[in-house]
Amino acid sequence: MKEEFIAKKKIILTGDRPTGNLHLGHYVGSLKNRVMLQNEGNYDEMYVFIADTQALTDNFNNPKKVRDNVIEVALDYLSVGLDPKKVTIFIQSMVRALPELTMYYMNLVTLARLERNPTVKSEIKQKDFGSSIPVGFLNYPISQAADITAFDATIVPVGDDQLPMIEQAREIVRSFNNIYGETLVEPKAVIPDNEVCRRLPGTDGKAKMSKSIGNCIYLKDDSDTVKKKVMSMYTDPNHLKVEDPGNTKDNPVFIYLEALSTDDHFKKYLPEYKNLDELKAHYEKGGLGDVKVKNFLYEVIEDILIPIREKRKYYEDNIDLVYKILKEGSIKANSKAEETLKKVKKAMLIDYFD
């Protein structure tokens, strides 16, 4: 009965860290899905938030970077087509219930469990924390569980590096409900159907495209910057001469085409090939140069980024409107999270004066 009640609502929630501008990895891994879900309209509530509290866990000594990027990420959201009329866009630190929920959830998770999280593990390595890992950083999967459960989110569209976080949130929900009674809703991750979109590599071909590494093509990059980045992208190092057979599998140029190009792009910019399969076959056989493929990739990226840039320009010129959207969204998110906090405190028997 309770289960039925809980499963009735479809609530979508996702966030991004304001550690830099959003890039093509965000676009294919999560933003595109969010805009699609938003436009399909098949949901009860949708929340998108800027995770400044989480960004501070590994940028605590650089508050200006986080503050500046809050507005940058908001501009990125609006420019890809997230619509504040349909989606509540808010800033994490404006929602006071979140750290309080985090505090209660911390009792339900062991240190060993946090240390086992594979995404956190690789981020600790990448950030060179050594043995000086800030408690707040190690704890961020728990704070992420608070973000998700505060809104009763059922669907969380993410890239695959976030799967361990959703799993951690599900464990917290189960544990909480077991101990204190059915209160929280279990979320589900939604990852892109297209496998290459789940973890887009960087332009260096090495790791995932990530703002902390800087191997990114940003949604706000201008045409010249995109051109330069595409032209200097890593490809197959053994494909030295045009006539050499090339490898398309670990080649980020082809991975990006797999993630971004459509048959229409071929019609428009490279009509001598019907589709990506034909282009790949030619490259693998030999006789197709990297410059030609990169020029095509540049056109494909431009096709996607031109309308995004135009929208961004509108909001940059109306920056007061962006602040208003964030403020209104934060107020709305705050009252929703307060409701959850009330339920949580009641379940935990710490609702003394209600």
Interacting residue ranges for ligand ATP, rule: CB under 6 A = 16-17, 19, 25-26, 29-30, 158-159, 161-162, 198-200, 208-212
CB-wise, 218 or 273, nearer to ligand ATP?
A: 218
Question: Minimum distance between the CB of residue 174 and ligand ATP, rounded to whole angstroms?
Answer: 22
CB-wise, 25 or 246, nearer to ligand ATP?
A: 25
CB-wise, 172 or 259, nearer to ligand ATP?
A: 259
CB-wise, 6 or 304, nearer to ligand ATP?
A: 304
CB-wise, 108 or 124, nearer to ligand ATP?
A: 124
Question: Minimum distance between the CB of residue 268 and ligand ATP, rounded to whole angstroms?
Answer: 25
Question: Minimum distance between the CB of residue 242 and ligand ATP, rounded to whole angstroms?
Answer: 30
Question: Minimum distance between the CB of residue 153 and ligand ATP, rounded to whole angstroms?
Answer: 13
Question: Minimum distance between the CB of residue 285 and ligand ATP, rounded to whole angstroms?
Answer: 30
CB-wise, 158 or 230, nearer to ligand ATP?
A: 158
Question: Minimum distance between the CB of residue 185 and ligand ATP, rounded to whole angstroms?
Answer: 19
Question: Minimum distance between the CB of residue 152 and ligand ATP, rounded to whole angstroms?
Answer: 19
Q: What number of residues does the chain have?
A: 354
CB-wise, 12 or 288, nearer to ligand ATP?
A: 12
3-state secondary structure labels for all residues of the chain: CHHHHHHCCCEEEEEECCCCCCEHHHHHHHHHHHHHHHHHCCCCEEEEEECHHHHHHHHCCCHHHHHHHHHHHHHHHHHHCCCCCCCEEEEHHHCCHHHHHHHHHHHHCCHHHHHHCHHHHHHHHHCCCCCCCCHHHHCHHHHHHHHHHHCCCCEEECCHHHHHHHHHHHHHHHHHHHHHCCCCCCCEEECCCCHHHCCCECCCCCCECCCCCCCCCECCCCHHHHHHHHHCCCCCCCCCCCCCCCCCCCCHHHHHHHHHCCHHHHHHHCCCCCCHHHHHHHHHHCCCCHHHHHHHHHHHHHHHHHHHHHHHHHHHHCHHHHHHHHHHHHHHHHHHHHHHHHHHHHHCCCCCCC
